[in-house]
Structure 1
């Protein structure tokens, strides 16, 4: 995050609020998984949306508020009230939507509030991004991913309206909805951000400019084909596999060889993306497994990024404010706790994968995920509170 000044940076409370809320949703998710494991049932809608809306969306919006000034030179003036509007809409809409999935009550209200929150936040960021030229793959990818988010959210809101009979229903709507959000929003945004942060964080060679600048265009071309399923998904699958292999190659050959467990989250995330991209071609038979490995992909990357961003921002804001007893980044969230967090996360992935094969270990896996998500919540909270303890 070189080149960032205290004038450009949004207040720490914005990023911290989004990240902490994401980890709270992650904790809720793991609790619901324990409930389902004991009930020997699987209810995908609330689980999928806890991952994508509760955990991923909150994290990504929080990260974008921080990263827009860094990677795109975009400064959102007076960001606190604008972020507050976004946060209130989403924190009202998403839990209500999840409740509606499970009970059938307030589903329309929850989806409306969530849709308005996504619409407001995406358009706010796009308004600032579209005013600049995209000289970097990351800023260009951000533009495309926010447009995909709007399209995917619109498809989802359309589905709810059709469920209530306000619009005609069509079967392909669900595939369009989750494909756009998984690959056009989450996948493209992570790839676009990694084109900059992998080189910066881990001292690696840069991605090829032609590949990284044209990556959003290739997603745009291949994504509609994947709606047809089967081997029509192969171009999109290969695109994400190529991206993963390029990333793994750079991480393995990195210049900084010191032990860093945030790096292992990236390894796990990229390997899981390869599995998920392969299963994408066969998702008619392995939909749950495809979704699981895709969730492992983005949750792993997000966890690795959280463990990087929070310590940096605490150190950065305290340094610029001239506070006393400024901690080292390694003191904000101790490496031993990040290491434990990684191994718990890995244990959950391994046990859940075994459970899919043997039909056992679901309860154990869900308890491991519960402990893992609780530790992540604790680490992010205690890391952020280091900064607030210095404030009047």
Structure 2
């Protein structure tokens, strides 16, 4: 697998790192929002506080990490070099950070100006990224499923943001749209067309590489991106036209694809060559189990009669928490604990230029710190699920746990940055010493220098 990667084409370290470091701050804001709003947040999925919380996680946390990961993955995995990556990262990061903050403020204050500015910043930031990524991918043959998935996920992101901009304008009162229906389509494009396709495309590479599993079946890696796009497009048309039967059938097919990805990932994990699971594998396992649980609860909620609407509402809340915090957040954090150390190792290795070997990846973030943060995240997930059912009892503990878990995540990522800066200084000094001693480069032994361990 590593032979397929172009290590020398990675963007500057600070380009993707700024996205990764910003993401936990939005999850911390989500925890603060829970503490500020209290149990009333769970009164309905449509309360301003619930909508703000959802977008702090989706736009503030998920979008930050996913764009940062794509900035790193496109040149390394697909050989698609994005022009001026440092400038691009600066502009996109600033735009989506401001956009996410304004969007949350718009929901909480119901301010039309905040929605308009959020739409402007998010729309322009994502458009700039998609345009640059699309230009980089243009002409790159989709010879591998990962490249094809990256291309389709960019389309899914574009549709998601376009629908989000329309909804923001409608909330401002400038457009008359059937808000529940458009919101449902926006939600589905975000979680399937963008989130699922991108995570699967990345998972096709990182799960076998870092978790030491067999590869995903070739038929599935080719089928998932295109079938998700086709089914999602047809479902959107049926939903927009208010055709209940075709809409329900196509929604079931989308759930089947999602569940199949989860089941296959769990099956591959069982065949891992690792003697003992690390934190990343635990994160993926919990993420896939939560995804399966969310799919099951969604089907149950849809099958309930109208007289049980209150129960259906609670089940849909549980689906949202399972999918967002249990599924996407768990998998994303698990990938961060591999992508970020790999990013550090890669840039240190390139800095050494064959003269000094970079330290082992496992030394970038202490294993015990990762395990503690993982336990804190799982506790926060359990408390959030309990808060959906018993908000009076568990909303405040859930908010505190979310703060602690993501504060620990931020601390771990900052520790990785400190490690990178420290080792960069050491490597530069070793190269200077080796060169001055005999006037020619030589391979220098560095403390704990080994090939990167997955």
TM bucket normalised to smaller: over 0.9
Mapped partners of 1:278, 1:157: distance in 2: 31
CA shift digits 1:106-130 (9 cap, x unpaired): 2211221111111111121122113
Task: Quickly say closer, same or farther: Cα 1:68–1:375, change in 2 above 3 A.
Answer: same
- Kept in 2, the 8 Å contact 1:237–1:280? The answer is no
Q: TM-score, normalised by structure 2?
A: 0.81
Q: Runs of 5+ in structure 1 lacking a partner?
A: none
| Structure of larger gyration radius | 2
Aligned 8 A contact 2:6 2:77 in 1: no
Task: State the match for 1:248 in structure 2.
Answer: 266
**TM-score, with normalisation over the residues of structure 1?**
0.93
| Residue ranges of structure 2 left out of the alignment (5+ in a row) | 44-48, 303-311, 426-454
Number of the residue aligned with 2:199: 190
Q: Counterpart in 2 of 1:70? A: 76
Q: CA deviation at 1:46?
A: 0.8
**CA RMSD, aligned part only?**
2.1
Deviates more, 1:294-303 or 1:283-292: 283-292
Q: CA contact under 8 A between 1:188 and 1:216: conserved in structure 2?
A: yes
The answer for the alignment partner of 1:167 in structure 2 is 175
Q: Give the 3 Å change call, closer, same or farther, for CA 70–40 of structure 1 in structure 2.
A: closer
2: CA distance, partners of 1:126 / 1:74:
9
1:354 and 2:386 aligned: yes
Q: How many angstroms does 1:155 deviate by?
A: 0.8
SS in 1 for 2:333: helix
CA contact under 8 A between 1:93 and 1:111: conserved in structure 2? yes
Q: Any conservation in 2 of the 1:152–1:180 contact (CA below 8 Å)?
A: yes
1:163/1:169 contact within 8 Å kept: no
The equivalent of 1:83 in structure 2 is: 89
- Aligned with 2:2: secondary structure? coil
Give the alignment of 1:54-133 within 5 angstroms. Answer: 54-105=60-111, 106-133=114-141
Which digits, 9 at most, give the CA deviation of each residue in 1:177-225, with x for residues without a partner?
A: 1110111101111112111211111121111112111211211232243
- 1:234-293 deviations in Å (ceiling 9; x for gaps): 111111111110100001111122341111000010001111122333556232111111
Q: Provide the rounded CA distance (Å) in 2 between the counterparts of 1:87 and 1:233.
A: 33
Looking at structure 1, the residues matched to 131 and 266 of structure 2 have their Cα atoms a distance apart, in angstroms, of 33
State whether structure 2 residue 343 is matched by structure 1 residue 337.
no
- Once residues 277 and 168 of structure 2 are traced to their aligned partners in structure 1, the CA distance between those partners, rounded to angstroms, is 47
Aligned residues between the structures: 392
**C-alpha displacement at 1:93, in angstroms?**
1.8
Change (3 A) 1:97 1:351: closer
CA–CA separation in structure 2 for the residues paired with 1:293 and 1:40: 17
Are 2:279 and 1:269 aligned?
A: no
Question: Relative to 1, partners in 2 of residues 1:114 and 1:40: Cα closer, same or farther, differing over 3 Å?
Answer: closer
Give the direction of change, closer, same or farther, for the CA distance of 1:87–1:301 in structure 2 (3 Å limit): same
